[in-house]
Amino acid sequence: MYILESYPLAVVLLIITMLCWGSWPNMFKLTKDDWRFELFYWDYVLGILLLSLIFSFTLGSFGENGRNFIADISQAETTHISSALIGGVIFNLANILFMAAIALAGMSVAFPIGGGIALILGVSVNYLGDPVGNPLYLFTGVGFIMAAIILSASTSNRLSTQLQNFSYKGILLAVVAGILFAVFYRFIASSMAADFARPEEGKLTPYSAVFVFGIGVLLSNFIFNTFLMKKPIEGIPVSYSDYFNGSFRNHAMGILGGATWGLGLSLSIISAGQAGFAISWGLSQGNAMIAAIWGVFIWKEFKDAPSGTNRLIGFMFFCYLAGLLAIILSRLV
């Protein structure tokens, strides 16, 4: 299988992860107005699994190092398969709860709470499990990115003239989602061999771990998303027949959105062999900056914002870039 052997290349791949994780929501924006998120989400989940299969039978099956995908998945112990599956279930629940938090409390509340918890707790948990990198630089970078998330929330809040979206239930959901986001990555990491080139018996390698994760996301979606379809956060209930009546374009956008997110996860896990899981997770959380760039420059979401907003946006981008640089340097000093 293909194994990354360069930290600078790992940084490049993690920047691509940021791009993927910050860009996939655009696929939903490109669907027709009558296509509900609950229906889009089925294709999104299928896209994650499809991308993991493509990587498994290409990069995960060629090369002299490590084990190829079929051999690796065949020898894996139940304990480690279960860990990657649980990671998929936790991620899926976190994603759905976070969507509910945004619907109830708004992005300006959900993002700093959920995103902040996911960033700080996620880096901490992964650093304790795999202490790679200088902790001073690493957590300084985390602090800058946390400041950027808060600034991003402040700019979003300027678009609203009332606090009508404030909701204690939304805050609670954002907290729970943030905690779940912070730990799902560790379950994948725990299922994997420490040395990708010479993996321990019974453990998974990156490609098989991401595939099993995708299975966990898909299986849990029959529970979580079915419930959401019957008890939607907003709007009337939708059915499976609504999904099958969707247009080719809408289904294609969902699969593309999931494949985009799945590409980001695969590159992040592959990069962890050189960067460590804490740095991989921390750099990946620059995705909020990418989403903000799309909102500011492409979708023009802030064109009607009051004066002073552009200054906040500029400072937000500065904090993101400073945080990302500090995290990158944590592996070099």
Report the alpha-carbon distance of residue 168 to residue 22 in Å, rounded: 27
41-55, 105-119, 175-189, range with the lowest pLDDT:
105-119
Q: Please provide the DSSP assignment of 69-121 as one string.
A: HHHHHHH--HHHHHHHHHHHHHHHHHHHHHHHHHHHH-HHHHIIIIIHHHHHH
Neighbour count for residue 70 (Cβ, 10 Å)? 13
C-alpha 5: how far from its chain's center?
24
Q: At what angle do helices 277-284 and 248-275 cross, to 10 degrees?
A: 140
Cβ atoms of 265 and 29 closer than 8 Å: no
Structural domain boundaries of the chain?
A: 7-329
Contacts of 250 (CB under 8 A, 6+ apart): 31, 32, 35, 39, 40, 43
Q: Which residues pair with 204 in a beta bridge?
A: 192
Band the pLDDT of 154: cuts 50, 70, 90. Answer: confident
Across the range 296-319, mean pLDDT stands at 75
Q: Is 240 exposed, middle or buried (0-12, 13-18, 19+ CB in 10 A)?
A: exposed
**Global pTM value:** 0.90
* pLDDT at site 152: 74
Instruction: Identify which of 43-57, 115-129, 161-175, 299-313 has the greatest average pLDDT.
Output: 43-57
Confidence (pLDDT) at 161: 45
User: What number of residues does the chain have?
Assistant: 333
- Return the pLDDT at 304: 66
Highest mean pLDDT among 76-85, 299-308, 314-323: 76-85
